[in-house]
Amino acid sequence: DTAVSQTPKYLVTQMGNDKSIKCEQNLGHDTMYWYKQDSKKFLKIMFSYNNKELIINETVPNRFSPKSPDKAHLNLHINSLELGDSAVYFCASSQDLAGGSSPPAFFGQGTRLTVV
Amino acid sequence: TQLLEQSPQFLSIQEGENLTVYCNSSSVFSSLQWYRQEPGEGPVLLVTVVTGGEVKKLKRLTFQFGDARKDSSLHITAAQPGDTGLYLCAGSPNTGGFKTIFGAGTRLFVKA
């Protein structure tokens, strides 16, 4: 059983299109994340949701809109795709601790987005 | 802005050699994590250290958190080709794991 699963794994699309990436975790975790990994492998936080509520939005263009229909799902919708959006996008999850939130524990396999 | 700097950026060694990679910051973190990422996969959490000076061992891997909780090191003894991968450190501030930031990684290649 895959703990954090993302679909699709690969996505090639033209500039200007709108696309969505889906993420599901079966771990019962409270927090889910979206990270962007650029060509230099640098991982940057985009969004963090805790129990379906947005906790962090790290200066991401408003063309990116996360949606969490329930605690186990965090989808990412991207409008008007640009060449610079090409990257690998990772979903992750973590379980809250008694003292607060914990860092991302499980990552999905990633979605490689290529905008042409 | 909190930053984590990892060194070296790239390391190529022979099987059986020992190595140490470093993760440094001018900021204090409440915890620090090490992940390994293989091509086409997501990062896999190896360890979390939370106490200044803490040392954790995972088979041939030894992780240390600096006394001031600003830096960390990962030492691998007798490296094997299976250790090849991108090693990422990540730090969580006192405000919580939501704000975990990542270093740029050390790419390790172990030759047989």
> Is the per-residue pLDDT at B53 higher than 80?
yes
Helices and strands per DSSP (H, E), number in chain B: 0, 11
For residue A2, name the pLDDT band (cuts at 50, 70, 90). Answer: confident
The whole-angstrom distance between A63's CA and the closest CA on chain B is 22
Cβ <8 Å between A103 and B92: yes
Q: Coil, strand or helix: which one is B83? A: helix
pLDDT tens digit string along A37-70?
A: 998 888 999 999 988 888 877 778 999 999 999 9
Dist. CA A41–CA B102, nearest whole Å? 10
> Is the per-residue pLDDT at A93 higher than 90?
yes
pLDDT tens digit string along B28-37?
A: 998 999 999 9
Cβ <8 Å between B97 and A108: no
The whole-angstrom distance between B27's CA and the closest CA on chain A is 17
Neighbours of B72 (CB within 10 A): 27
Q: What is the pLDDT of residue B2?
A: 64
DSSP state of A83: G
Q: What is the pLDDT of residue A102?
A: 80
Kindly state the average pLDDT of the residues A31-36. Answer: 94
